[in-house]
Amino acid sequence: MNAISYLILTRMKNTLRNLLRSPAKLIYVLILAAAMGFTFFAGNLETDPNRPLRDVRELIAGVGGLCTLMFLLLAYSGFGAGGSFFRMPDVNLIFPAPFPQRSVLLYGLIQQAGSSMLLGFFMLFQYTWMHELYNISFGFLLILMLAYGASVFLGQFVAMVLYVATSADERRRRIARILYVCYIALILCLAAAYVLPDLDAWAKGLVAAANSPLFFASPVSGWLTYLVSGILTCTLSDCLIALGLLVGVTGLLFALIQRLGSDFYEDVIKTAETAQSAINASRQGAVAETTPARVKVGKTGFSRGMGAAAIYEKHKLEDRRSRVLILDKMSLIWVVMVILFGFFMKEEGLIPVFVMATYFQFFSVSMGRFNRELTKPYIYLMPEPPLRKMLHALRESLPAAVLEAIVMFVPLYFIMGFPLAELVCAILARISFSLLFLAGNVVLMRIWHGRSSKMFTMLLYFGIMLLLMLPGILLVIMALAASQVLALAVVSEIALSFVILTISNTLFGLLALFLCRNMLQYAELSES
């Protein structure tokens, strides 16, 4: 056994050992396993045999759109901060060792490939509705997860190659940007060629474009979609061609990195040091914030905001510099994914789509600016009442939530064709969930901020949010049951449910904020 193989096996063994020795991590894994078992069980329950299945080409189109989006976003980072497959311990241990360059890079690729595949784990929880609508097996869902992970891996690999090859040469950077824009233009022209002839059937046009030979021939995301289509149709030749192209582009990127030589190692050390600084800050209770290499500065400073209101003005300035068009990059990803989900679920109604949107919102709110403000001393030192400081620190999140809800549900209104009253109530309910999740964040930090157990923190966060959401869910169940028992005429049960959730979320969110009103009176950050 050579040294690189020994390192990989030892790391896997230590990861498993740490999992078994950490009760919080073990409980978290067991909860995920139970949720996965429930999803698999619910997906295999007997359904209406007369219910027609949807065209499976829609699923292939969704996979193609998701892989294209992730590949483009990750590859674009190669024009900025770049990326690396190595961490600081790898740099300190492996780079000085007498290992061949090929073996060191292969170690990084194997390490990153495993991490990228885990990012697609969330797709396994979509088995219930995918099996019901398209009658796919759990094994095929694993293929979809691997395709998503492969798009992430290749996007990161391309970003690393772009950064190393173009960071010191402006001419190469311009050429790479032109190729990147041409790739996007080709995808858009292909979609337009299928959509424009019949605008009334634009959705079918997009599905046809994503299943066309031209899209299958497009690099990386098209090849991944081609591979998924070949597996689904059991066409061996398609699978072999797509797999050969993917292996070939991986080998080409591998050869390019080797050719770059010492420049690659210097850039890896730089990005690894940056990542390690973020990890160290996180361990000390700080929340990492990614800053791009080129920031849209525009107007500097702000002329409004006295006292605690200056926090809000600061957040507005940071949002303006970080957003793409009207939303930031992560919000755009969530919006696109929910709209795609709504396209596939348009015959199932608004509720499944709203649940998926709330699921994504659960994670997006937890990465908000309020968490980062708590790591800075001035918010505690301001001579203002604690509640006033907290409200101004949270104030920026609500307008962003309103805008995100409108951008998300208005396209869904035209795609799915649900009533206008449900659109308005869905937007209000999503805004109320933003308030509720913000309040849950405040409660979590009030009772557990700065502690070292990240797994237990995540479990506690889930528990707090379930407790805050439970009254609204129970009230909806009771109201719908009462309307059926009393034979009350309800215009829309979905709109009524959203209204009840909005009221409950708003009341309990405000109550949680009021109970934690003195949170900013003292700095309680842990440096351990």
| Tens digit of pLDDT at every position of the chain (528 positions) | 577 777 778 878 887 887 777 776 777 777 778 877 877 777 676 666 666 677 888 888 888 888 898 888 888 877 765 556 677 777 777 777 777 766 777 777 777 777 777 767 777 777 777 777 788 888 888 888 888 888 888 888 888 888 777 877 788 888 888 998 999 999 989 988 888 887 667 778 888 888 999 999 988 899 999 999 999 888 888 899 999 999 999 889 888 877 775 556 666 666 666 666 655 655 554 544 544 445 555 566 656 667 777 777 777 777 666 665 667 777 777 788 888 778 777 777 788 888 888 887 877 776 666 766 766 777 777 788 878 888 877 777 788 888 888 988 998 888 888 888 889 999 999 999 988 888 888 888 777 765 555 666 777 778 888 888 899 889 988 888 887 766 555 567 888 889 999 999 999 988 988 888 887 776 554 443
What does the alpha-carbon distance between residue 65 and residue 227 come to, in Å, rounded to a whole number?
A: 14
What does the alpha-carbon distance between residue 236 and residue 203 come to, in Å, rounded to a whole number?
A: 29
Residue type, 130: M
Contacts of 303 (CB under 8 A, 6+ apart): none
pLDDT value at position 145?
86
Q: Can you name the residues that pair with 323 across neighbouring β-strands?
A: 328
Radius of gyration, CA atoms only, the chain: 25
Q: Can you name the residues that pair with 327 across neighbouring β-strands?
A: 324
pLDDT value at position 246?
92
Q: Is the full-model pTM beyond 0.75?
A: no
Tokens in use for 277? 């600084």
pLDDT value at position 501?
92
pLDDT value at position 525?
45
Mark residue 84 as left, alpha or beta (left: phi above 0; alpha: psi -120 to 50; beta: remaining): beta
pLDDT value at position 527?
41
Tokens in use for 335? 């919006």
The backbone torsions φ and ψ at residue 526, rounded to the nearest 5 degrees and listed phi first, read: -95, 140
Count Cβ neighbours within 10 Å for each residue of 154-174 and write b for 16 or more, e otherwise: bbbbbbbbbbbbbbeeeeebe
| Number of helices and strands in the chain (H, E) | 23, 2
What does the alpha-carbon distance between residue 188 and residue 214 come to, in Å, rounded to a whole number?
A: 12
